[in-house]
A and B are shown apart, each in its own frame.
Chain A
Amino acid sequence: MESSQEYLASERAQTWREDLRKSVKAADRTKKERVKMPEQDPDVRNKNSLEVNLGISEAQAIAEAQRCLDCVTPTCITGCPVNINIPKFIKKIESGDFAGAAKVLKETNALPAVCGRVCPQEVQCESQCFYVQKMNKPAVAIGNLERFAADFERESGQISVPEVAPRKGIKVGVVGSGPSGLAAAGDLIKMGYDVTVFEALHEIGGVLKYGIPEFRLPNVMVDVEIENLRQMGVVFEPNFIVGKTASLDTLRAEGYKAFFIGSGAGLPNFMHIPGENAIGIFSSNEYLTRVNLMGASRPGYDTPVLKGRNVAVIGGGNTAMDSVRTAKRLGAERAMIVYRRSLDEMPARKEEIHHAMEEGVEFLCLHNPLEYLSDDKGRVCRMKVQQMDLGEPDASGRRRPVPREGSEFLLDVDTVIVSIGVSPNPLISQAVPGLEVTRWGTLVVNPDTMQTSIPDLFAGGDIVRGGATVILAMGDGRKAAAGMDAWLKEQNI
C-alpha cells in the first residue's frame, strides 16, 4: 500500500526527487523561517464572515516546501490518519508542479482543501515532523501546503476527475453525507459500484456545511468536492432519512446490496441544570445550523437567530470556538468562553483559541455554570457560575475540575450557547433492530473492515467514534469502502 516502507523508498529514489534534494543544501533548508499564514486583521474579520486565513502565495509555498528535508524515514506520515505521502506532495510543490502535488494528495485524501483548513495538524503530521522531533524548531507547515495545493488545483479550474472503473451494475447506499460518507462514496464509485448518498438535511456535506462556519471553511470548498463526486457518477438524495423516509428493508428490496452508515454524532448534550430551557439558550448545533445552513443573519433569508449582546458559550472544543466567534461576528459586545478546566486542557485547536483571543473573545476558564435566570419574558438574563480548581487527573488523563466553595457569582448574559459535546445520532440504531451498539450509543464495528453486526451494513465516522475529526471520519469511510468491496466479492454479488 501507499504507506509501506519499500514503496516510499522507491518513490524517494526517483531521479527528480534526488535532484531536488541536491539542489539546496540541508543546512540552508533548516535555516529558513516557517511561513506565516497571511490572515485578515482581527478587528476587521470579527465583523465579517470571510475566511480568516488568506492562503499563502506560490513563492511562499515553494520556500516552505524547501524547508522539508525529504527525510529517509518520513515520520510525518505516521502522524497522518490516512497516510498521505507527505514528502512527495511537498516536493512536487518545491518543483513547481502544484497540480501534481494536488494529485498526490488525492491518492489518499478525497477532501484536501477541507483537511488543509480544519485538520489539527499540530497534533498529527506536524507534531511528528523532524524539525519538531529533533531540532526543536517549528514544523514544516504541512497543513498550509496541503491547502495551497488543493486551492491551486481548484482555482486553476482544471480539477482532475479521478478515473472510475467500469460499472458493475451493483447498487450500494451511503447514509449521511458528512466527510465519512463522501469519502466512502468516492471510493465505491471508483471501484465501479452504483452509489447513492442519502442525506436527511436539504444540503449535502454534514458538519462541513451545517457546523463549521464560513470563516473557517467556505462552503464552496465542499461544493467543489461534491460536484466532483457527482461527475464521477455519485447520486445524491437530499431530504431522505434512512429509517424514516424508507426503511433499510425497503431499500434492500429495491436492490441495494450493502450500505455505509456515516450518520454522525448529531445529538446535542445539555447540562440539565435549572433554567436551561429559557429563551436565548441554544445548543451549538442549533446556533451554528441557523447561521451556517439556514443563512440566518444573511439578508433575504427567512430563518431568524437571536443576536445577543452578552453571549456566553459553554465548553472548550472546536464547536465552542466556532460558536463564540460566530457570536462575535453577529455583533456581540461580550463574547465569552466559559470552560470548567484551564486553557491547557482545552480540546480546541490551538490556532482556533489563538484566533478567538485575537478577535476579542473573553475566556473565563475554570468556571462552570450552575443555573440560568430569566426575565419576565422568559429570556435568559443572568447565569450563576462557580469557580473551579484543578485537582487530580481523571480517567481521561486531564486534571479534574473541583468546585471552589463559596465562589459563585452572577454573570449578565442574554444568549447562551451550550457546546459540551454531542451523542451519536440514534435514528439508525432505533430503525435497525439487532444492530449492536455500545453503551454510549456508538455502533460496534470490526476495526479492520468497519463491518457492523449486520453483515451488509458498514459504518464509520462519528457514529462509530462518538465525535472525532474530519480526517478520521474520512479514513473510516475509505476503510469501510474497501471492507464492503471485499465482502461483496466474497458473497459473489
Chain B
Amino acid sequence: MNKIISKDFLSELVFRMVIEAPRIAQSRQPGNFIILRVDEHGERIPLTIADANPEAGTITLIVQIVGCSTRKLSRLEAGDFLSDLVGPLGKATHIEKSGTILCAGGGVGIAPLYPIVEGHKKAGNRVVVVLAARTKDLLILEQEMRQQADEVIVMTDDGSYGSRGLVTQGMEQVIQREKVHEAVVIGPAVMMKFASMLTRKYNIPTVASLNTIMVDGTGMCGACRCTVEGKTKFVCVDGPEFDAHSVDFDEMLRRLGAYKEEEVKAYEAYLEQLQR
C-alpha cells in the first residue's frame, strides 16, 4: 500500500501524482519505471518515474488518461492509497558526457523524457529539447524543461502555441543548425518511428524508450516483447530504451493494439458505471 501525497492536473487529460515509496525513491535512476495496481481488481500498469525525492521518500508520476486504469488512478486524491506499487524496473538510461543531445518528446512521452534531460544536463551535456503536442492545452512540463535544458523548441500540430508542425520538423531544424551527437526520442510509437527515420538519415545515434503492453515487468511473461535488430527482446528487463534505428516500430504498433476492443469495452463500461 502506497500513500498518495499530492495530485494536480497539468492539462485536461494529464495529471501529476506524488506517491510515497521510500525505497524506490532511493534506488531509482533516470529511465526506470514502476508498475502499479490501483485497486484489488486492477491491472498492472507500467509508468515511468518522472522524478523522485529521496529525502522525502517520494516518487513523481505523470500520467495521461488513456483508458480505464489511468482514469481510475486519476480519481484518487491525496491521502488515498494504491493497492500495489513495485519498482524501480527496467535498465537505467545510459548517460555520459558526449556533447549535444537532442531530446524529442511527444505528448505524454514528455514525462519520461524529463529525468533523461535532467541526467544529461548533470553529465555536462548541451541539451536541446523539442516538445510536441497536438494543441497548446495538451503540452506539459514546458516550464520544468526550460529550467533544465539549454533550449526548448515547442511544436504544435495546430499552431496554437510555439511553431506549427510535427516533432520531426523541430528536430530537423536543430540538426541542420548544429552538430548533434545523440538523440533521445520518446512518445507515441508513430512519432518515435518517424523521429528515428529522421535521425537515421543524418546518422545520429538515437535512443527510443518503448511503452509496450506489460504484465509483470520482471521478465516473466513476454507480453512486452518487441523485435530489435531482428531479435526478440523483453522491454521490461532488456529495455525500456533501445537503439531506435534497430527497433521494429511497425510490429510494436500492431502489438500495442492487441487489446483495442477489450480496452474500449472496459472503458465504456467504466464510464457508464461512473455516471450511474
Contacts and interface: CB of A to CB of B under 8 A. Distances in A.
Contacts of A279: 254-255, 257-258
A244 B263 contact: no
Given A244-B27, A266-B219, A425-B219, A300 B89 contact: no
Contacts of B262: 304, 306
Contacts of B263: 304
Given A201-B216, A283-B222, A294-B44, A245 B37 contact: no
B84 A295 contact: no
B245 to A, nearest CB: 19
B266 interface: yes
A489 interface: no
Interface in B226-249: 226-227, 232, 237
Contact of B219 (A245, A267, A277): A267
A202 interface: yes
Nearest to A430: B237
Interface stretch (A234-242, A386-394, A451-459): A234-242
Given A202-B83, A239-B84, A279-B254, A301 B221 contact: no
A270 B37 CA distance: 28
A270 B225 CA distance: 11
Which of A266, A286, A306 lies at the interface centre, i.e. has the most chain B CB atoms within 10 A of its CB? A286
B87 A244 contact: yes
Contacts of B85: 239
Contact of A285 (B86, B222, B255): B222
A240 B26 CA distance: 14
A427 B83 contact: no
A303 B68 CA distance: 10
B42 A302 contact: yes
Interface string A42-78: 0000000000000000000000000000000000000
Contacts of B83: 202
A244 B87 CA distance: 7
A426 B219 CA distance: 9
Contact of A290 (B69, B215, B227, B257): B215
Interface in B74-94: 83-89
B101 interface: no
Contacts of B257: 279, 377-378
B43 interface: yes
A268 B42 CA distance: 24
Contacts of A160: none
Contacts of B220: 266-268, 285, 289, 425
Interface string A273-287: 000111110110110
A277 B41 contact: no
A200 interface: yes
A245 B23 contact: yes
Contact of B43 (A285, A303, A426): A303
A266 B88 CA distance: 19
Interface in B250-265: 251, 254-255, 257-259, 262-263
Contacts of A22: none
A270 B224 CA distance: 13
B163 interface: no
B171 to A, nearest CB: 28
Contacts of A272: 232
Which of A239, A241, A303 lies at the interface centre, i.e. has the most chain B CB atoms within 10 A of its CB? A239
B272 to A, nearest CB: 14
Interface string B15-33: 0000000011011000000
A250 B23 CA distance: 10
A247 interface: yes
A1 interface: no
A302 B86 contact: no
Given A267-B219, A283-B222, A289-B221, A301 B232 contact: no
Nearest to B222: A283
A301 B69 CA distance: 11
B223 interface: yes
A300 B42 CA distance: 9
A304 B225 contact: no
A378 B255 contact: yes
Contact of A289 (B88, B216, B259, B266): B216
A294 B24 contact: no
B84 A238 contact: yes
Contacts of B237: 426-427
A246 interface: yes
Contact of B86 (A245, A270, A289, A425): A245
Nearest to B263: A304
A300 B43 CA distance: 11
A182 to B, nearest CB: 18
A124 to B, nearest CB: 28
A313 to B, nearest CB: 15
Nearest to B266: A302
Contacts of B88: 244-245
Given A245-B23, A283-B221, A277 B226 contact: yes
B218 interface: yes
A289 B24 CA distance: 25
B215 A300 contact: no
A286 B43 contact: no
A290 B259 CA distance: 13
Which of A200, A246, A247 lies at the interface centre, i.e. has the most chain B CB atoms within 10 A of its CB? A200
B232 A202 contact: no
Nearest to A427: B218
Nearest to A263: B218
A270 B232 contact: yes
A377 B222 contact: no
Contacts of A266: 218-220
Interface in A419-438: 425-427
Contact of A276 (B24, B26, B232): B232
Contacts of B84: 202, 238-239
Nearest to B32: A244
A272 B257 CA distance: 22
B258 A306 contact: yes
Contacts of B24: 245
Contacts of B255: 277, 279, 378
Interface of B: 23-24, 26-27, 37, 41-44, 68-69, 83-89, 215-216, 218-223, 225-227, 232, 237, 251, 254-255, 257-259, 262-263, 266
9 contacts: A201-B216, A202-B83, A279-B258, A289-B216, A294-B44, A301-B41, A304-B259, A304-B266, A377-B257
Given A278-B254, A303-B215, 7 more contacts: A201-B86, A277-B255, A283-B221, A285-B220, A294-B44, A378-B257, A425-B220
Interface of A: 200-202, 238-241, 244-247, 250, 266-268, 270, 272, 276-280, 282-283, 285-286, 289-290, 294-295, 300-304, 306, 377-379, 425-427
Closest 8 CB pairs of A and B: A378-B254, A304-B262, A286-B221, A239-B86, A266-B220, A202-B84, A283-B222, A279-B258
